[in-house]
Amino acid sequence: MTGNSSNAPATPTTATSQASAATSAIRLRNFVIALVAIALSVSIFLGFRTQTAPGMLSAMAKDALPLEVALSNGKPTLMEFYANWCTSCQAMAADLQTLKQEYGDRLNFVMLNVDNTKWLPEVLQYRVDGIPHFVFLNDDGAKIAEAIGEQPRSVMAANLVALTENTPLPYAQSSGQTSAYSAPVSPAQASKTDPRSHGSQVAN
């Protein structure tokens, strides 16, 4: 009696082909899963970074020393003019937080939000027209240097070390990428009401 060919056992060649097809399907599935995982990871990272950068600036500002305390405690000061919307400020936030942890026992870290009109006299006094704008003050509260825009952490660290040692800053007057900012009034208008802003000229 002739056997049914459909019930015949698979030949080695057929079994190998089926195994190869199954392996290829598994590899393709794993590749697609890996691509989806990478895409999700990147989008989560970017979303997390976008959401937390302004939050980090707000938290740092909340923990920063008040300006009036910094000007009277006998320590040198790094004063930053910033805004939560400033992408250059956001880009430097993590580095500045690290620097604060390293040097916070030797100098003051002060943050002034340019969107708060309370700081308009200081904005005008230091001629802030781009942020972040850093002002280095000695232990008497006098300005000795400034840096405008994004700065590498190594540059900021070198300046802070010099500030704490009361030596000339190696990267004074340095400039980097900024976020544009314009004060709501001009220095000429402010000079009528703010005696601190009269006639002061600061080189950019």
Ranges of beta strands (E only) in the chain are: 77-82, 108-113, 130-131, 133-137, 143-148, 174-175, 179-180
Q: Do 130 and 202 touch, CB atoms closer than 8 A?
A: no
Please say if 187 is a catalytic residue.
Answer: no
Active-site residue, from 65, 78, 89, 190: 89
Catalytic residue among 86, 160, 163, 190: 86
Q: How far is CA 135 from CA 41, 63, 115, 126, 143, in A?
A: 38, 18, 18, 8, 7
Reduced to 3 states, what is the DSSP secondary structure of residue 85? coil
86 is catalytic: yes
- Residue 126's Cβ-count burial label (10 Å; 0-12, 13-18, 19+) is buried
Alpha carbon of 164 to those of 71, 107, 115, 153, 167: distances in Å? 15, 7, 30, 16, 8
Instruction: Give the C-alpha separation, 57 to 88, whole Å.
Output: 11
Per DSSP, the three-state class of 191 is coil
- Among all residues, which ones are annotated catalytic? 86, 89
